[in-house]
């Protein structure tokens, strides 16, 4: 691996977001530290997706700031944030199903290239050189790394769900992110697919050093691989800390269950994850 992109530090300060009269996010602050995995969890409707959309620039919070390495990026549109190193995967896979794995991954990188997609698809001059370098780099750094060599020329639509999610991760990595935003990376996966994805996310952290922020419902996976967990409830941050600290926090348990029984919480959450995977 030879990926040398400095990880970024994401800081959210006093974020407010309302839809009409409904407060989706209310005075929420937290930090995703460089080179760490931060998980954003919370019951359904807690505001996780809204928060993700504020971070990637799809939503504009009414108040508060999104800072990246100290710079206020709140007013930047998603493509401008992408240029600063934000890369995102989506809850519902956002790939071109008729295109091959390799072409889908290359599209991730074209956002950053000096020549645009059309120029790059015609093999002349700088475009041709960039295209060849890109292909070599993607094959070396990403396709091998994510163990998707055998499917590189297959159309994405023909792949299993777990592999499609891995291709989406590959496309995000092709952007050479300084922060990777993963929206429910293992939703809908079976146990084996979940374990594979968890391992790849850990490998990205360890080998690329990328800052990772993920929204995830699978508590087993969250507790296994996160360095830091932030819990949202009704749009507010109600807890943050190490996975074990959060797991045993009575406010968190109450938010999920309305009871003080952490064992029951874990059982319920594990059951929900299994239901989604079934």
Ligand X SMILES: Nc1ncnc2c1ncn2[C@@H]1O[C@H](COP(=O)(O)OP(=O)(O)OP(=O)(O)O)[C@@H](O)[C@H]1O
Give residues in contact with ligand X (CB under 6 A): 19, 22, 24, 42, 44-50
Minimum distance, C-beta of residue 124 to ligand X, in the bound complex (Å): 44
CB atoms within 10 A of CB 192: 9
Minimum distance, C-beta of residue 13 to ligand X, in the bound complex (Å): 19
Distances (CA, A) of 15 to 19, 47, 89: 14, 11, 22
Minimum distance, C-beta of residue 22 to ligand X, in the bound complex (Å): 6
Residue (20 or 70) nearer to ligand X, CB: 20
Handedness of CA 193, 179, 107, 137 (dihedral sign): negative
Residue (50 or 104) nearer to ligand X, CB: 50
Helical spans, DSSP H, in the chain:
48-56, 78-84, 101-110, 117-121, 125-138, 161-174, 191-203, 219-225, 243-247, 250-257, 262-277
Residue (156 or 255) nearer to ligand X, CB: 255
Minimum distance, C-beta of residue 151 to ligand X, in the bound complex (Å): 29
Residue (100 or 236) nearer to ligand X, CB: 236
Return d(Cα 60, Cα 77) in angstroms, integer.
Answer: 9
- Among 88, 96, 59, smallest CA distance to 76 is for 59
Minimum distance, C-beta of residue 18 to ligand X, in the bound complex (Å): 9
Residue (50 or 211) nearer to ligand X, CB: 50
Q: Which residues contact 29 (CB under 8 A, 6 or more apart)?
A: 11, 12, 13, 14, 15, 64, 237
Residue (19 or 275) nearer to ligand X, CB: 19
Minimum distance, C-beta of residue 239 to ligand X, in the bound complex (Å): 15
């Amino acid at each position: 691996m030879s990926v040398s992109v400095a990880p970024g530090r994401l800081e959210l300060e006093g974020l407010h977001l309302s839809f009409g009269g409904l407060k989706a996010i209310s005075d929420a602050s937290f930090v995703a530290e460089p080179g760490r995995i931060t998980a954003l969890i919370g019951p359904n409707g807690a505001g996780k997706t809204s928060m993700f959309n504020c971070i990637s620039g799809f939503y504009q919070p009414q108040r508060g700031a999104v800072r990246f390495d100290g710079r206020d990026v709140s007013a930047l549109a998603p493509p401008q944030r992408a240029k600063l190193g934000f890369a995102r995967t989506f809850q519902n896979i956002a790939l071109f199903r008729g295109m091959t794995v390799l072409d889908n991954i290359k599209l991730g990188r074209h956002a950053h290239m000096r020549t645009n997609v059309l120029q790059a698809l015609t093999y002349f001059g700088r475009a041709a050189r960039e295209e060849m370098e890109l292909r070599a780099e993607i094959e070396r750094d990403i396709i091998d790394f994510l163990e998707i060599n055998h499917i590189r020329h297959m159309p994405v639509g023909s792949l299993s769900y777990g592999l499609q999610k891995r291709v989406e991760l590959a496309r995000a990595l092709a952007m050479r992110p300084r922060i990777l935003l993963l929206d429910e990376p293992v939703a809908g996966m079976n146990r084996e697919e979940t374990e594979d994805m968890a391992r790849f996310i850990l490998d990205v952290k360890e080998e690329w050093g990328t800052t990772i922020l993920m929204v995830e419902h699978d508590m087993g996976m969250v507790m296994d691989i996160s360095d830091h967990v932030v819990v949202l409830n009704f749009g507010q941050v109600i807890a943050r800390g190490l996975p074990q600290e959060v797991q045993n926090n009575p406010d968190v348990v109450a938010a999920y269950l309305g009871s003080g029984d952490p064992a029951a919480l874990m059982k319920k959450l594990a059951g929900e994850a299994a239901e989604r995977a079934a």
